[in-house]
Homo-oligomer: A and B are copies of this chain.
Amino acid sequence: MTIRTIDVRERVMAKNDEIARTTRERLAGACVPALNLVSSPGSGKTTLLERTVKQLGEELAVAVVTGDVQTRNDADRIARYTDRLVQAVVTNGACHLDARQVATALDAIDLHATRLLFIENVGNLVCPASWDLGETAKVVLFSVTEGEDKPLKYPRMFQVARYVVFTKVDLLPHLAFDVELATRYVRQVNPTLQVLRVSALTGEGMQDWFDLLRSLAPAGQTA
């Protein structure tokens, strides 16, 4: 039975990867880089997106796809900050977004009027690591209220990501969290990860984040 389970799982994953490849070609064809935001629940994905969309939504013609297990709360929060399209996917209990859900959500977005796409995944440090959505890169949010050893304990997510964003750094004076140690663990798992530190609350480090996003979005494609 174990073998049969793996067999079925592999076929489901293969189908997912096929859809993800199509999405990747579709996004490349429209010159839209797509960032897949992943993290533990409560690490600040939605708050970071709120501030990002408020600041750069128009400038970078941002579109957003949010994934939630059961509510549309995140999409509703982000929609308060932008007239740009926000597509909400409810996974109905599933622990991650899959490529088909994202492909369907993209049907409702005018990609040729978009310069940068965010996909906010379900809050989960395990499952979303295995599901390619066709994104350009995964961004792991790592709240400084969590333990420094998250990269060691959830290595796959840090291995498949391109960026790590330490969030809630305004709380550092009140925590025993050792950023240098956490950064060493990050590099130990994946030496090529680019690391940023932000507080969406105080704005600390947000300029670096915005600069990164500006460097990713192609020039001259403004809606």
Contact = CB atoms under 8 A, between A and B. Distances in A.
B70 A146 contact: no
A160 to B, nearest CB: 12
Nearest to A7: B8
Contacts of A203: none
Interface residues of A, number: 43
Contacts of A123: 40, 125, 153-154
B8 A150 contact: no
B126 A125 contact: no
A73 B127 contact: no
Contacts of A80: none
Interface in A4-62: 4-5, 8-9, 11-12, 15, 40-43, 46
A153 B150 CA distance: 22
29 contacts: A1-B8, A1-B12, A1-B15, A4-B8, A40-B42, A41-B125, A41-B150, A42-B43, A42-B143, A46-B147, A68-B153, A69-B126, A69-B155, A70-B152, A70-B155, A70-B156, A71-B149, A71-B153, A73-B153, A93-B126, A94-B126, A95-B124, A123-B153, A124-B124, A124-B127, A127-B127, A145-B145, A145-B168, A145-B171
